[in-house]
Amino acid sequence: MRLVVTGGAGFIGSHVVDRLLGDGHEVAVVDDLSTGRRDNVNAAARLHVVDVRAPELRRIIDGTRPAAVVHLAAQAAVSRSVADPAFDASVNILGTLNLLDACGAARVRDVVYISTGGAAYGDTDVIPTPETHLTVPASPYGVSKVAAELYLHCWAALAGARGVSLRLANVYGPRQNPEGEAGVVAIFTSRLLGGRSCIVNGDGEQTRDYVYVADVADAVTRALARSAATGPINVGTARQTTVNELYRMLAGAAGIERAAEHGQARPGEQRHSALDWSRARRLLEWTPATPLERGLAETVAWARADRRATDTRGEATEVPG
């Protein structure tokens, strides 16, 4: 099957592309490389360096004529969405509308949209949270992602197409960039292996649901293959892990005994989050196959190997552990 993956040079997107190619599909990647990396893109995929908001996108979709599109391209930094909500909306809402317009013109009939779980639902007493729960996002990022879901639902109904929104929990794994507003797993791993202290915000008892990136890629492939799957579908583990527990597991995987430091709590930070994935089990026959302990160990092993490879090129100095 011929497919287009937007954001395919990013952390999650590149794993999705690898999985789709491994399953025998033909894949074209659309990415402006603002946060993605060219060396993340599988050599078997064709890369188009273009902004998802650009008029050129229509020509690419029309020329590729994909059977389906997986849409990951996004402005994903919550802090930037707060500082510049107009930019956030331009990428996440207008970029999605530009893509859907291109898909309609090319008669694409299946779109799998990569959305957010925790940022969509906001703080809730219903944990693990099902898709039937109200979405009450607390950031412009969450608002724009939910808005794009609604536009996809509307577009699919008008075009006679199928739209699936995968609401992801906190994704972690190899290739995640520890810089900027990255996931805590990538940040802690980088600092532990670099011999630096890790800062836990507040008391560290806030919880998140961590899902391994390969399991996310598996959910995407299943969403593409199952025509009965539509609407929002949570992709998580339903397991709550505190930041303190996460740090202890990562430090153990890295073979480091140093305790974490504690800093100020972030104002407005979501306290608890975990996703009910029973709908994914029912519609996609999907399960989160990677236990957190194993996924963290594999992530640390990859990061250590990556640092050693960088050191060989003369760009790093030391890899503790």
pLDDT tens for 10-45 read 999 999 999 999 999 999 999 999 999 999 999 999
> Which domains does the chain show, CATH number per domain?
2-169+211-235 (3.40.50.720), 176-208+240-271+291-321 (3.90.25.10)
Q: Compute the average pLDDT of residues 149-174.
A: 98
Q: Compute the average pLDDT of residues 215-233.
A: 97
- Calpha distance 287→24 (Å, rounded): 22
Residue 320 has what pLDDT? 35
Residue 317 has what pLDDT? 39
Query: 180 pLDDT exceeds 70?
Result: no
**How far are the Cα atoms of 21, 186, 197, 254 from residue 251, in angstroms, in the given order?**
34, 12, 11, 5
Share the mean pLDDT of the chain.
Answer: 94
pLDDT confidence bin for 309, thresholds 50/70/90? confident
High-pLDDT (> 70) share of the chain, %: 96
Residues serving a catalytic function are 141
Residue 316 has what pLDDT? 44
- Our CA angle for 15, 21, 22, nearest 5°, is 85
Write the pLDDT tens digit of every residue in 108-124. 999 999 999 999 999 99
